[in-house]
Structure 1
Amino acid sequence: MESPPTFFNHILAMPSPARGHINPMMNLCKLLISKNNNILVTFIVTEEWLTFISSEPKPDNISFRSIPNVVPSELIRENGDERISYIPGISSTRLADFPLKDDSSRSKRMMQMTMKGFQWIHKAQYLLFTSIYELESQAIDTLKSKLPLPIYTIGPTIPYFINLTNNPKPNTTNSYIEWLDSQPTGSVLYIAQGSFFSASSEQIDEIANALCESNVRFLWVARGEATRLKEICGHMGLILEWCNQLRVLSHSSIGGFWSHCGWNSTKDGVIYGVPLLTFPINLDQPFNSKMMLRVKEDVKGDILVKKCEIVKLV
């Protein structure tokens, strides 16, 4: 009988409880294991996220542990057309596209938390960014000149060594792949609005009614509202609580990606060559989406985009 492997390295991975943090952290762990099988990973997520990802295939070297659910803070934004060009490493940009730029108490608290995190940098041995050097070399070079520690860009953290389009036949937990297999090439709009922040219920209803009227095929990941939205959207698509985003975006039937434009979703769409229709909500999302096709040009949070406008876009 072959003796079990001896693990010499133990990695504790604890991403922030959001898809855009969990996915790249998991992919990084898989990449590390592919280079060295003597690595054991303990992957910590909230109880809610464990129910979403526990059935996804993973190496035996990775085990899950859960912590109680965490409720994220809500943030608000204000609009501004003023442009600034004095931040090192960043080209001229509208003030409206910057995160945490208003004077609200919630934004101030988030900024305080961010600054507190930066205070720990001097204790780190390395700084890793899930970014691509060639995409933002100016910003990365600026950080390297300012910080006294090695900086590495480890993006895109996508398991490129796995053929995502030729995986074994999916089980019932991801039968949406079978549905995608039955759709014409480039005919499906994939909609994912992120894990933390959400558009208002009124805006979600406008999107749902627009999808129903447009007769566009769609696959919509809508945590917490799937049952209600199924009643509005009709029969042209699927509404899910969770999906494997990389498998979806790599599928030949996907023709567009309606995204909140979180950084990791932006990279996923770019890498798989899927056109992005962006609907930024908060934090870095307006900044990431400023060079793409936006559903709404005015990024102010209380601007309602009506059904008729969405139908034209999709």
Structure 2
Amino acid sequence: MGSQPTSGCHVVALPYPGRGHINPMMNLCKLLVSKKPDILITFVVTEEWLGFIGSEPKPANVHFATVPNVLPSELHRAKNFPAFLEAIFTKLEAPVEQLLDRLELPVAAIIADTYILRAVRIGKRRNIPVATLWTMSASVFLVFHHFEMLQQKGHFPVDLSERGEYEVDYIPGFARTLITDLPTIFFRNHRQLLLGKALECIAGASKADYFLSTSFSELEPLALDAIRSQLSVPAYCVGPTIPFLDGDGAGDAAYFRWLDAQPIGSVLYVSLGSFLSVSDAQMEEMAAGVRDSGVRFLWVARGETSLVGGAREEGASLVVPWCEQLKVLCHPSVGGFWTHCGWNSTLEAIYAGVPMLTCPLLMDQVPNSKQIAEDWKIGLRVKKEDGGGGGGGENLVTRQEIARLVRKLMDAESGEGREMRKRARELREACRRAAARGGSSDRNLDAFIGDISRAD
């Protein structure tokens, strides 16, 4: 562990308790201590989450602190997500306050996920500056921030089957988008409860002392400029908050040895995230479509291993329960990524320069899919004709359509394939320049560290 610093800048990190939020918060903390070794970070998680991540490698001066398990278990949160979210908003504040009372060193700043609703209020009461960390795209933040515009234009509430193809072209900094490509929280069951809480979190972010985006300036320049102009606090773009500090070289696991034996750019990497998945019927179509495409693949299958296993062909495919995703994406044998379009996975694919086949399930994944395929032009969309913004419903994408899309994505010699890969390489270089010493995100990290150090 190493000894705790007894002086310097002490920061408390409050991530939202979900893998897609904890990972970017931890990666940000690693970036901060890599630039300023005398920073001490207290990383706050529930006791359950400490059991999940307590053994994962981290810098010596990032220390875990726990609050009791006052939330529904991570293992079951998808079964009643509104109840899980309500618990986060109502049950975390008191335990976090009690933890802050126990800390020996004074706190210079709190970095809290935007969805930790009460963090700003806690900071104000204690006179501690709070930085809100937004772990989705800057474009999605703007949609929530200007939600009243959707209402004024008659685009909320709306029946997607009747008006889903209407365009949203009036939000500052937000690219022209169809209503059906907005976050699914606007249109799904429980939308009133979830949307109301999300909007409350966005309003809270505007009251924080700093705004941190996990994107990078070159990826979403108009959206980030709009955020800077509309918020009255410093807004720093510090992405990509992905584990690139761990290196992108191959490891010694069996799946890396398998990748080493495959031709360059020949493997489709398939991973649909850690929270929700598609139906068994759709998974069967996906597995059959990938198999029928004739493309080599590496598939991360968690609960659906038996469904995916039938698609395997000896030597030409591999199914694993987990892998080091960024390192896999950076492996030269990988030529495409079938993704649910979570923001972290999107950033990792951009960092690796790998084109994507997009299969969004919920929330911000749908607008991310649209950006990937239509704005950045580094991917293809797998779309159901269900009018539901990319998820739900019984209409299946057939194995024939999936096989066609997989072959199209992996065809590096077609005109579209060459152009897609050229664009992916350009964004890869922009991403790596932003993160490199003297790059836009690197400079923003320095500025943020300077701010909180002076506040200390």
Once the two structures are overlaid, the 10-residue window that deviates more, 78-87 or 174-183, is 174-183
Aligned equivalent of 1:189: 268
Helix, strand or coil: the match of 2:337?
Answer: strand
Question: Quick one: structure 1 residues 37 and 124, their matched pair in 2 at CA, closer, same or farther if it must change by over 3 Å?
Answer: same
Aligned equivalent of 1:225: 304
CA distance in 1, matches of 2:47, 2:397: 34
- The superposition leaves residues 158-194 of structure 1 with CA deviations (integer Å, 9 ceiling, x where unpaired) of 454553216xx53xxx442232223222121111112
Give the Å deviation of 1:144: 2.1
Aligned partners of 1:100 and 1:110 also within 8 Å: no
Aligned partners of 2:270 and 2:337 also within 8 Å: yes
Equivalent of residue 124 in structure 1, options 208, 224, 227:
208
Equivalent of residue 275 in structure 1, options 337, 351, 355:
355
Say whether 1:312 aligns with 2:396: no
Q: What is the 5 A alignment of 1:157-176? A: 157-165=241-249, 170=252, 174-176=253-255
Aligned partner letter, 2:5: T
Give the Å deviation of 1:274: 0.4
Tell me the number of residue pairs that the alignment of Structure 1 and Structure 2 aligns: 305
Aligned equivalent of 2:437: none
Say whether 1:28 aligns with 2:115: no
Aligned partner letter, 2:218: E
Aligned partner letter, 1:280: P
Aligned equivalent of 2:59: 59
Aligned partners of 1:181 and 1:253 also within 8 Å: yes
Aligned equivalent of 2:383: 296
Aligned partners of 2:14 and 2:45 also within 8 Å: yes
Give the Å deviation of 1:31: 1.0
Say whether 1:39 aligns with 2:126: no
Task: Give me the identity figure in percent.
Answer: 46
CA distance in 2, matches of 1:217, 1:63: 41
CA distance in 2, matches of 1:47, 1:177: 33
Aligned partners of 2:4 and 2:61 also within 8 Å: no
CA distance in 1, matches of 2:283, 2:44: 31
CA distance in 2, matches of 1:223, 1:10: 38
Aligned partners of 1:40 and 1:62 also within 8 Å: yes
- The superposition leaves residues 240-283 of structure 1 with CA deviations (integer Å, 9 ceiling, x where unpaired) of 33322111111111110001112222221122110111111111
Aligned partner letter, 1:232: G
Equivalent of residue 174 in structure 2, options 90, 112, 127:
90
Question: Quick one: structure 1 residues 257 and 104, their matched pair in 2 at CA, closer, same or farther if it must change by over 3 Å?
Answer: closer
Give the Å deviation of 1:5: 5.9
CA distance in 1, matches of 2:320, 2:11: 31
Structure with the largest fraction of helix: 2
- TM-score of the pair, normalised by structure 1: 0.84
Question: Quick one: structure 1 residues 116 and 190, their matched pair in 2 at CA, closer, same or farther if it must change by over 3 Å?
Answer: same
Aligned equivalent of 2:183: 99
Equivalent of residue 239 in structure 2, options 148, 155, 163:
155
- TM-score of the pair, normalised by structure 2: 0.60
Question: Quick one: structure 1 residues 144 and 203, their matched pair in 2 at CA, closer, same or farther if it must change by over 3 Å?
Answer: same
CA distance in 2, matches of 1:248, 1:54: 23
> In angstroms, what is the RMSD of aligned CA positions?
2.9
Helix, strand or coil: the match of 1:164?
Answer: coil
Aligned partners of 2:280 and 2:307 also within 8 Å: no
Helix, strand or coil: the match of 1:190?
Answer: strand
Q: What is the 5 A alignment of 1:66-81? A: 68=69, 69-70=73-74, 71-72=77-78, 73=80, 78=160, 80-81=164-165
Give the Å deviation of 1:225: 2.3
Give the Å deviation of 1:295: 1.5
RCO comparison, higher one (Cα < 8 Å, 6+): 1
Aligned partner letter, 1:25: M
Aligned equivalent of 2:282: 203
* Structure 2 spans left out of the alignment, 5+ residues: 83-158, 407-456
Helix, strand or coil: the match of 1:142?
Answer: helix
